[in-house]
Amino acid sequence: MRIDFVTLFPDMFAPVMDASILGRAKEKGLLEWGCVNPRDFSDNKHHKVDDRPFGGGPGMVMMVEPLEKAVKSVKKKSSKTIFLSPQGEKFTDGKASQLAKEKHLVLVCGRYEGIDERALDLFDEELSIGDYVLTGGELPAMVVADAVVRKIPGVLKKEDAASSESFVEGLLDFPQYTRPRVWRGREVPEVLFSGDHKRIAAWRRDAAKAATKRKRPDLMSRA
Ligand code: 4FV
């Protein structure tokens, strides 16, 4: 998969995209990524990419022309172009699985108060990572990239495969334990040392259900 980030802050990405699992995905040739900066496509003398909102009001708005040129400099017929914004469809695990099948993602990061409404025609869809306002779309774009890339076959080691984890079956994950067996007098559940994988799987399923009921009752209806 290739991911192109359209951003005014390209230097934000390498520390995240080249680290750990995402970095190894690139080394394994399962991922390639790049950044394109609308400022490099702004042909006005001061490379302006933002301007005051028509009709007045606080803050600045991202201009459509540099954005269009930047998007079109990387967009191909097979590309899925996504704008990250609070107005978008809520990003979910299911959406991550869907996007993991794409060959090329173009993730467009807004800044300022927002972008010129006419630029929305450039995008296939809008995604939001949550109902709060950030200073830019860069962090949401990295959240989407992380959740999507780890679902690409071969990115996660078999044993860490994304098969058994939160939200896959609509439930939260079961409790995990590791050494020490006793910590501050608290013991790891005995069943996990039984070697009886049926009993362990049943215990984990019940524990996942209990955790979901307690922490995310809203998920129970879907589970
Ligand atoms: C956001 C979100 C988000 C809005 C104004 C960037 C900011 C600024 N994007 N999910 N929540 N974007 O807050 O995706 O331009």
Which atom number of ligand 1 is nearest to the Cα of residue 133? 13
Residue 220 confidence (pLDDT): 83
The Å distance, Cα 124 to ligand 1 centre, comes to 17
Residue 182 confidence (pLDDT): 98
Rounded CA-CA distance 76/55 in Å is 35
Which atom number of ligand 1 is nearest to the Cα of residue 112? 15
Q: How does pLDDT run along the chain (223 residues), one tens digit per residue?
A: 999 999 999 999 999 999 999 999 999 999 999 999 999 999 888 899 999 999 999 999 999 999 999 999 999 999 999 999 999 999 999 999 999 999 999 999 999 999 999 999 999 999 999 999 999 999 999 999 999 999 999 999 765 555 556 676 678 899 999 999 999 999 999 999 999 999 999 999 999 999 999 999 998 876 6
128 lines ligand 1 (CB under 6 A): yes
136 lines ligand 1 (CB under 6 A): yes
The Å distance, Cα 146 to ligand 1 centre, comes to 17
The Å distance, Cα 100 to ligand 1 centre, comes to 22
111 lines ligand 1 (CB under 6 A): yes
For the residues of the chain, what is the DSSP string, one character each? Answer: -EEEEE-S-GGGTHHHHTSHHHHHHHHTTS-EEEEE-GGGG--STT---EEPPTT--SS-EE-HHHHHHHHHTT--TTEEEEEEEEEEEEP-HHHHHHHTT-SEEEEEE-BTTEE-GGGGGG-SEEEES-SS--SBSHHHHHHHHHHHHTTSTTTS-GGG-TTSSTTTTSSPPPP---S-SEETTEEPPGGGGS--HHHHHHHHHHHHHHHHHHH-HHHHTT-
- For ligand 1, atom 11, the nearest C-alpha belongs to 86
Rounded CA-CA distance 152/171 in Å is 21
pTM: 0.94
132 lines ligand 1 (CB under 6 A): yes
Q: What are phi and psi of 115, to 5 degrees?
A: -115, 160
The Å distance, Cα 44 to ligand 1 centre, comes to 26
137 lines ligand 1 (CB under 6 A): yes
Of 133, 142, 144, best ligand 1 pocket probe by most atoms within 8 Å of the beta carbon: 133
